[in-house]
Structure 1
Amino acid sequence: MEYQKIIKTFYAVDLSSNMFRGKIPESIKTLTGLQLLNLSNNELSGVIPPSMGNLIRLESLDLSSNKLSRRIPQELVQLNFLEFLNVSNNNLIGPIPQGRQFNTFSNDSYMGNQALCGYPLSMKCVDAKVSEPSKVSFEEDTESDFPDGVDWVVILIGFVSGLMVALVWGDHVTRRYYKWFLQRFRK
Protein backbone atom coordinates (compact mmCIF):
# COMPACT_ATOMS: atom_id res chain seq x y z
CA MET A 1 0.00 0.00 0.00
CA GLU A 2 1.35 3.44 -0.88
CA TYR A 3 0.53 6.40 1.34
CA GLN A 4 0.70 9.96 0.11
CA LYS A 5 2.12 11.08 3.45
CA ILE A 6 4.32 8.93 5.64
CA ILE A 7 4.42 9.49 9.38
CA LYS A 8 8.03 10.23 10.25
CA THR A 9 7.70 9.69 14.00
CA PHE A 10 8.11 5.91 13.99
CA TYR A 11 10.87 4.73 16.31
CA ALA A 12 10.42 0.98 15.85
CA VAL A 13 8.92 -1.02 13.01
CA ASP A 14 8.65 -4.79 13.42
CA LEU A 15 7.15 -6.48 10.38
CA SER A 16 8.80 -9.85 10.97
CA SER A 17 7.16 -13.19 10.11
CA ASN A 18 4.41 -11.78 7.91
CA MET A 19 5.15 -13.63 4.65
CA PHE A 20 5.74 -10.32 2.85
CA ARG A 21 7.00 -10.72 -0.71
CA GLY A 22 8.66 -8.35 -3.12
CA LYS A 23 11.31 -5.69 -2.71
CA ILE A 24 12.04 -3.43 0.23
CA PRO A 25 10.42 -0.15 -0.86
CA GLU A 26 12.67 2.84 -1.55
CA SER A 27 10.23 4.95 0.49
CA ILE A 28 11.70 3.38 3.64
CA LYS A 29 14.40 6.06 3.46
CA THR A 30 11.88 8.70 4.55
CA LEU A 31 11.57 7.17 8.03
CA THR A 32 14.61 9.10 9.24
CA GLY A 33 13.70 8.83 12.94
CA LEU A 34 13.61 5.04 12.83
CA GLN A 35 15.74 3.33 15.48
CA LEU A 36 14.67 -0.32 15.04
CA LEU A 37 13.69 -2.06 11.81
CA ASN A 38 12.86 -5.77 11.77
CA LEU A 39 11.86 -7.31 8.43
CA SER A 40 13.10 -10.81 9.25
CA ASN A 41 11.40 -14.12 8.38
CA ASN A 42 9.56 -12.89 5.31
CA GLU A 43 10.07 -13.62 1.62
CA LEU A 44 11.56 -10.28 0.61
CA SER A 45 13.70 -10.40 -2.53
CA GLY A 46 15.83 -8.06 -4.55
CA VAL A 47 18.56 -5.86 -3.14
CA ILE A 48 19.00 -4.04 0.14
CA PRO A 49 18.29 -0.45 -0.93
CA PRO A 50 21.38 1.76 -0.65
CA SER A 51 19.05 4.54 0.50
CA MET A 52 18.75 2.72 3.84
CA GLY A 53 22.02 4.51 4.61
CA ASN A 54 19.82 7.60 5.16
CA LEU A 55 18.30 6.05 8.30
CA ILE A 56 21.03 7.66 10.38
CA ARG A 57 19.33 7.02 13.75
CA LEU A 58 18.97 3.30 13.12
CA GLU A 59 20.30 1.19 16.02
CA SER A 60 18.97 -2.24 15.06
CA LEU A 61 18.46 -3.72 11.58
CA ASP A 62 17.26 -7.30 11.08
CA LEU A 63 16.82 -8.49 7.50
CA SER A 64 17.52 -12.16 8.24
CA SER A 65 15.76 -15.15 6.66
CA ASN A 66 14.58 -13.52 3.45
CA LYS A 67 15.62 -13.94 -0.19
CA LEU A 68 17.67 -10.76 -0.52
CA SER A 69 20.43 -10.88 -3.12
CA ARG A 70 23.49 -9.03 -4.41
CA ARG A 71 25.82 -6.98 -2.21
CA ILE A 72 25.35 -5.32 1.14
CA PRO A 73 25.37 -1.61 0.20
CA GLN A 74 28.44 0.34 1.29
CA GLU A 75 26.06 3.18 2.24
CA LEU A 76 25.05 1.24 5.37
CA VAL A 77 28.46 2.08 6.85
CA GLN A 78 27.03 5.59 7.41
CA LEU A 79 24.77 4.20 10.15
CA ASN A 80 26.88 5.36 13.11
CA PHE A 81 24.41 4.21 15.78
CA LEU A 82 23.90 0.70 14.40
CA GLU A 83 24.48 -1.72 17.30
CA PHE A 84 22.75 -4.80 15.91
CA LEU A 85 22.79 -6.11 12.34
CA ASN A 86 21.48 -9.43 11.08
CA VAL A 87 21.44 -10.24 7.36
CA SER A 88 21.89 -13.98 7.84
CA ASN A 89 20.15 -16.60 5.69
CA ASN A 90 19.77 -14.61 2.49
CA ASN A 91 21.49 -14.86 -0.90
CA LEU A 92 23.94 -12.00 -0.43
CA ILE A 93 27.26 -11.95 -2.30
CA GLY A 94 30.53 -10.06 -2.36
CA PRO A 95 32.57 -8.29 0.28
CA ILE A 96 31.12 -7.19 3.59
CA PRO A 97 31.36 -3.39 3.90
CA GLN A 98 34.12 -2.25 6.25
CA GLY A 99 34.43 0.67 8.61
CA ARG A 100 32.74 2.17 11.61
CA GLN A 101 30.09 -0.09 13.13
CA PHE A 102 30.55 -2.85 10.56
CA ASN A 103 33.88 -3.73 12.15
CA THR A 104 32.05 -4.69 15.36
CA PHE A 105 29.57 -7.27 14.05
CA SER A 106 30.24 -10.99 14.51
CA ASN A 107 30.04 -13.92 12.08
CA ASP A 108 26.46 -14.63 13.19
CA SER A 109 25.28 -11.45 11.48
CA TYR A 110 26.22 -12.88 8.07
CA MET A 111 25.79 -16.67 8.34
CA GLY A 112 23.87 -18.52 5.63
CA ASN A 113 25.06 -16.27 2.79
CA GLN A 114 27.35 -18.64 0.90
CA ALA A 115 28.95 -15.99 -1.32
CA LEU A 116 29.74 -13.30 1.25
CA CYS A 117 33.41 -12.73 2.01
CA GLY A 118 35.68 -10.54 4.09
CA TYR A 119 36.05 -9.67 7.73
CA PRO A 120 34.71 -11.12 10.08
CA LEU A 121 34.07 -14.25 7.98
CA SER A 122 36.80 -16.81 7.39
CA MET A 123 36.21 -16.67 3.63
CA LYS A 124 38.59 -14.02 2.30
CA CYS A 125 37.78 -11.88 -0.70
CA VAL A 126 39.91 -12.05 -3.85
CA ASP A 127 40.89 -8.39 -3.40
CA ALA A 128 43.09 -8.25 -0.27
CA LYS A 129 42.14 -4.62 0.42
CA VAL A 130 38.51 -5.63 0.98
CA SER A 131 39.09 -8.57 3.31
CA GLU A 132 40.52 -6.72 6.31
CA PRO A 133 38.70 -4.11 8.38
CA SER A 134 39.77 -0.60 7.61
CA LYS A 135 41.90 1.20 10.14
CA VAL A 136 40.22 4.59 10.41
CA SER A 137 41.34 6.94 13.12
CA PHE A 138 38.79 8.81 15.16
CA GLU A 139 39.87 12.10 13.59
CA GLU A 140 39.16 10.80 10.09
CA ASP A 141 36.01 8.89 11.08
CA THR A 142 33.77 11.72 12.19
CA GLU A 143 34.07 15.18 13.53
CA SER A 144 33.63 14.90 17.24
CA ASP A 145 31.52 17.25 19.31
CA PHE A 146 33.47 16.14 22.38
CA PRO A 147 35.36 19.08 23.87
CA ASP A 148 39.14 19.12 24.05
CA GLY A 149 41.96 21.44 25.08
CA VAL A 150 40.82 24.89 26.19
CA ASP A 151 37.17 23.75 26.20
CA TRP A 152 37.87 21.55 29.23
CA VAL A 153 39.29 24.51 31.16
CA VAL A 154 36.15 26.55 30.49
CA ILE A 155 33.90 23.62 31.45
CA LEU A 156 35.84 23.01 34.65
CA ILE A 157 35.75 26.70 35.66
CA GLY A 158 31.99 26.79 35.03
CA PHE A 159 31.41 23.61 37.00
CA VAL A 160 33.48 24.70 40.01
CA SER A 161 31.96 28.19 40.17
CA GLY A 162 28.46 26.75 39.85
CA LEU A 163 29.17 24.26 42.62
CA MET A 164 30.47 27.02 44.92
CA VAL A 165 27.39 29.20 44.31
CA ALA A 166 25.12 26.22 45.00
CA LEU A 167 26.90 25.38 48.26
CA VAL A 168 26.87 28.97 49.56
CA TRP A 169 23.25 29.53 48.56
CA GLY A 170 22.19 26.17 49.97
CA ASP A 171 23.85 26.96 53.30
CA HIS A 172 22.16 30.39 53.41
CA VAL A 173 18.72 28.96 52.65
CA THR A 174 19.15 26.14 55.15
CA ARG A 175 20.09 28.50 58.02
CA ARG A 176 17.38 31.01 57.19
CA TYR A 177 14.48 28.54 57.05
CA TYR A 178 15.65 26.12 59.75
CA LYS A 179 13.86 27.99 62.57
CA TRP A 180 10.72 28.44 60.47
CA PHE A 181 10.68 24.73 59.67
CA LEU A 182 11.05 23.74 63.34
CA GLN A 183 8.24 26.07 64.46
CA ARG A 184 5.95 24.88 61.73
CA PHE A 185 6.36 21.13 62.02
CA ARG A 186 7.25 20.56 65.70
CA LYS A 187 3.68 20.06 66.72
Structure 2
Amino acid sequence: MNTFFAVDLSGNMFRGNIPESITTLSGLLLLNLSNNELSGVIPPSMGDLLRLEALDISGNKLSGMIPQDLVQLNFLEFLNVSNNNLTGPIPHGKQFDTFLNNSYMGNQALCGFPLSMNCGDSEASKPPKVSSEEDTESDFPNGIDWVVILIGAMTGLVIGLVYGDYLSTKYYKWFSQRSRR
Protein backbone atom coordinates (compact mmCIF):
# COMPACT_ATOMS: atom_id res chain seq x y z
CA MET A 1 0.00 0.00 0.00
CA ASN A 2 1.31 3.44 -0.93
CA THR A 3 1.30 5.89 1.95
CA PHE A 4 1.72 9.12 0.00
CA PHE A 5 -1.17 11.50 0.59
CA ALA A 6 0.32 14.61 -1.01
CA VAL A 7 2.94 15.02 -3.70
CA ASP A 8 4.10 18.55 -4.44
CA LEU A 9 6.73 18.70 -7.17
CA SER A 10 5.91 22.23 -8.27
CA GLY A 11 8.51 24.66 -9.59
CA ASN A 12 11.27 22.12 -10.21
CA MET A 13 11.83 22.61 -13.95
CA PHE A 14 10.91 18.97 -14.63
CA ARG A 15 10.70 18.15 -18.34
CA GLY A 16 9.02 15.40 -20.28
CA ASN A 17 5.68 13.68 -19.94
CA ILE A 18 3.68 13.11 -16.77
CA PRO A 19 4.72 9.55 -15.88
CA GLU A 20 2.01 6.89 -16.02
CA SER A 21 3.52 5.43 -12.84
CA ILE A 22 2.02 8.32 -10.85
CA THR A 23 -1.24 6.36 -10.90
CA THR A 24 0.27 3.67 -8.67
CA LEU A 25 -0.09 6.14 -5.79
CA SER A 26 -3.71 5.12 -5.27
CA GLY A 27 -4.08 6.89 -1.90
CA LEU A 28 -2.99 10.25 -3.28
CA LEU A 29 -5.17 13.19 -2.16
CA LEU A 30 -3.13 16.09 -3.56
CA LEU A 31 -0.95 16.21 -6.66
CA ASN A 32 0.85 19.43 -7.56
CA LEU A 33 3.03 19.36 -10.67
CA SER A 34 2.59 23.05 -11.47
CA ASN A 35 5.20 25.43 -12.86
CA ASN A 36 7.46 22.87 -14.45
CA GLU A 37 8.14 22.24 -18.13
CA LEU A 38 6.05 19.11 -18.51
CA SER A 39 4.84 18.39 -22.03
CA GLY A 40 2.73 15.81 -23.80
CA VAL A 41 -0.81 14.92 -22.85
CA ILE A 42 -2.52 14.46 -19.51
CA PRO A 43 -2.52 10.67 -19.03
CA PRO A 44 -6.09 9.31 -19.00
CA SER A 45 -4.92 6.89 -16.29
CA MET A 46 -4.89 9.85 -13.85
CA GLY A 47 -8.60 9.12 -13.64
CA ASP A 48 -7.60 6.06 -11.59
CA LEU A 49 -6.49 8.29 -8.69
CA LEU A 50 -9.98 7.97 -7.23
CA ARG A 51 -9.18 9.63 -3.89
CA LEU A 52 -7.63 12.72 -5.47
CA GLU A 53 -9.02 15.96 -3.97
CA ALA A 54 -6.67 18.50 -5.55
CA LEU A 55 -4.89 18.45 -8.91
CA ASP A 56 -2.67 21.31 -10.05
CA ILE A 57 -0.83 20.85 -13.35
CA SER A 58 -0.87 24.53 -14.30
CA GLY A 59 2.04 26.41 -15.83
CA ASN A 60 3.42 23.60 -17.95
CA LYS A 61 3.48 22.87 -21.69
CA LEU A 62 0.83 20.16 -21.69
CA SER A 63 -1.15 19.71 -24.90
CA GLY A 64 -4.09 17.73 -26.18
CA MET A 65 -7.47 17.36 -24.58
CA ILE A 66 -8.41 17.01 -20.93
CA PRO A 67 -9.19 13.29 -20.63
CA GLN A 68 -12.83 12.43 -19.98
CA ASP A 69 -11.47 9.80 -17.53
CA LEU A 70 -10.82 12.59 -15.00
CA VAL A 71 -14.58 13.02 -14.57
CA GLN A 72 -14.62 9.88 -12.41
CA LEU A 73 -12.59 11.70 -9.72
CA ASN A 74 -15.56 12.12 -7.35
CA PHE A 75 -13.59 13.83 -4.56
CA LEU A 76 -11.84 16.40 -6.75
CA GLU A 77 -12.44 19.80 -5.12
CA PHE A 78 -9.65 21.78 -6.76
CA LEU A 79 -8.49 21.64 -10.36
CA ASN A 80 -6.00 23.92 -12.08
CA VAL A 81 -4.91 23.18 -15.65
CA SER A 82 -4.37 26.83 -16.53
CA ASN A 83 -1.50 28.13 -18.65
CA ASN A 84 -0.87 25.07 -20.78
CA ASN A 85 -1.62 24.36 -24.45
CA LEU A 86 -4.74 22.26 -23.91
CA THR A 87 -7.36 21.98 -26.65
CA GLY A 88 -10.91 20.83 -27.21
CA PRO A 89 -13.98 20.69 -25.03
CA ILE A 90 -13.83 20.65 -21.25
CA PRO A 91 -15.26 17.37 -19.93
CA HIS A 92 -18.69 17.47 -18.30
CA GLY A 93 -19.99 15.62 -15.29
CA LYS A 94 -19.68 15.36 -11.55
CA GLN A 95 -16.99 17.64 -10.10
CA PHE A 96 -16.02 19.11 -13.47
CA ASP A 97 -19.33 20.97 -13.56
CA THR A 98 -18.29 22.92 -10.44
CA PHE A 99 -14.95 24.37 -11.60
CA LEU A 100 -14.78 28.03 -12.66
CA ASN A 101 -13.04 29.79 -15.55
CA ASN A 102 -9.80 30.35 -13.63
CA SER A 103 -9.17 26.59 -13.59
CA TYR A 104 -8.73 26.74 -17.38
CA MET A 105 -7.21 30.20 -18.10
CA GLY A 106 -4.37 30.49 -20.58
CA ASN A 107 -5.41 27.55 -22.76
CA GLN A 108 -6.42 29.38 -25.92
CA ALA A 109 -7.97 26.35 -27.62
CA LEU A 110 -10.09 25.03 -24.73
CA CYS A 111 -13.81 25.50 -25.15
CA GLY A 112 -17.14 24.71 -23.57
CA PHE A 113 -18.71 25.27 -20.19
CA PRO A 114 -17.69 27.23 -18.09
CA LEU A 115 -15.68 29.17 -20.70
CA SER A 116 -17.37 31.61 -23.04
CA MET A 117 -15.76 30.03 -26.12
CA ASN A 118 -18.13 27.63 -27.87
CA CYS A 119 -16.85 24.34 -29.24
CA GLY A 120 -18.86 24.42 -32.44
CA ASP A 121 -21.22 21.85 -30.99
CA SER A 122 -23.77 23.99 -29.20
CA GLU A 123 -24.41 21.20 -26.68
CA ALA A 124 -20.77 21.13 -25.55
CA SER A 125 -20.76 24.82 -24.68
CA LYS A 126 -23.95 24.82 -22.61
CA PRO A 127 -23.94 24.16 -18.90
CA PRO A 128 -25.00 20.60 -18.19
CA LYS A 129 -28.63 19.94 -17.37
CA VAL A 130 -29.24 17.77 -14.36
CA SER A 131 -32.38 15.72 -14.64
CA SER A 132 -34.16 14.38 -11.60
CA GLU A 133 -33.58 10.85 -12.89
CA GLU A 134 -29.87 11.45 -13.35
CA ASP A 135 -29.09 13.02 -9.99
CA THR A 136 -31.48 12.65 -7.10
CA GLU A 137 -29.10 14.28 -4.63
CA SER A 138 -29.57 17.94 -3.96
CA ASP A 139 -27.42 20.58 -2.30
CA PHE A 140 -30.52 21.65 -0.40
CA PRO A 141 -30.77 19.96 3.00
CA ASN A 142 -33.08 16.96 3.23
CA GLY A 143 -35.19 15.81 6.18
CA ILE A 144 -32.45 14.43 8.44
CA ASP A 145 -30.26 17.47 7.72
CA TRP A 146 -33.05 19.77 8.86
CA VAL A 147 -33.35 17.87 12.13
CA VAL A 148 -29.63 18.40 12.81
CA ILE A 149 -29.84 22.07 11.75
CA LEU A 150 -32.85 22.73 14.00
CA ILE A 151 -31.28 20.95 16.99
CA GLY A 152 -28.16 23.10 16.58
CA ALA A 153 -30.16 26.31 16.18
CA MET A 154 -32.36 25.59 19.19
CA THR A 155 -29.37 24.68 21.35
CA GLY A 156 -27.64 27.91 20.34
CA LEU A 157 -30.77 29.92 21.03
CA VAL A 158 -31.27 28.44 24.51
CA ILE A 159 -27.62 28.91 25.45
CA GLY A 160 -27.69 32.46 24.08
CA LEU A 161 -30.83 33.37 26.03
CA VAL A 162 -29.64 31.85 29.31
CA TYR A 163 -26.15 33.33 29.08
CA GLY A 164 -27.50 36.65 27.80
CA ASP A 165 -29.90 36.87 30.75
CA TYR A 166 -27.08 36.05 33.18
CA LEU A 167 -24.77 38.69 31.68
CA SER A 168 -27.45 41.38 31.46
CA THR A 169 -28.46 40.81 35.12
CA LYS A 170 -24.84 40.84 36.26
CA TYR A 171 -23.94 44.01 34.34
CA TYR A 172 -27.19 45.72 35.31
CA LYS A 173 -26.28 45.30 38.98
CA TRP A 174 -22.73 46.51 38.29
CA PHE A 175 -23.95 49.51 36.31
CA SER A 176 -26.55 50.38 38.98
CA GLN A 177 -23.90 50.36 41.72
CA ARG A 178 -21.55 52.51 39.62
CA SER A 179 -24.20 55.08 38.74
CA ARG A 180 -25.28 55.55 42.41
CA ARG A 181 -21.86 56.82 43.41
Shorter-chain TM-score bucket reads: 0.7 to 0.9
CA contact (8 A) 1:65 1:90 kept: yes
SS, match of residue 123 in structure 2: helix
User: Per-residue deviation at 1:128?
Assistant: 1.4
Q: What is the match of residue 105 of structure 2?
A: 111
CA contact (8 A) 1:99 1:133 kept: no
SS, match of residue 87 in structure 2: strand
User: Per-residue deviation at 1:28?
Assistant: 1.1
Is 1:126 aligned to 2:120, yes or no? yes
Moved over 2 A (4+): 133-143
Q: Structure 2 stretches of 5 or more lacking a match?
A: 145-181
- Within the candidate set 79, 82, 85, 1:88 is matched to 82
Query: For this pair of structures, how many residues does the alignment match?
Result: 140
Question: Aligned equivalents of 2:54 and 2:132: distance in 1?
Answer: 23
Q: What is the match of residue 66 of structure 2?
A: 72
User: Per-residue deviation at 1:141?
Assistant: 5.2
Return closer, same or farther for 1:27/1:85 CA change in 2, 3 Å cut-off. same
- Within the candidate set 93, 102, 112, 1:99 is matched to 93
**Identical-pair percentage:** 76
Is 1:36 aligned to 2:50, yes or no? no
User: Per-residue deviation at 1:129?
Assistant: 1.8
Q: What is the match of residue 5 of structure 2?
A: 11
Question: Aligned equivalents of 2:131 and 2:46: distance in 1?
Answer: 25
CA contact (8 A) 1:77 1:100 kept: yes
TM-score (norm 1): 0.70
CA-based RMSD: 2.0
Is 1:57 aligned to 2:70, yes or no? no
User: Per-residue deviation at 1:140?
Assistant: 3.4
Question: Aligned equivalents of 1:20 and 1:137: distance in 2?
Answer: 43
Q: Which amino acid aligns with 2:48?
A: N
Q: Which amino acid aligns with 2:65?
A: R
Q: Structure 1 stretches of 5 or more lacking a match?
A: 1-6, 153-187
SS, match of residue 94 in structure 1: strand
Q: What is the match of residue 162 of structure 2?
A: none
SS, match of residue 35 in structure 2: coil
TM-score (norm 2): 0.72
Question: Aligned equivalents of 1:31 and 1:139: distance in 2?
Answer: 35
SS, match of residue 79 in structure 2: strand
Q: Which amino acid aligns with 2:21?
A: S
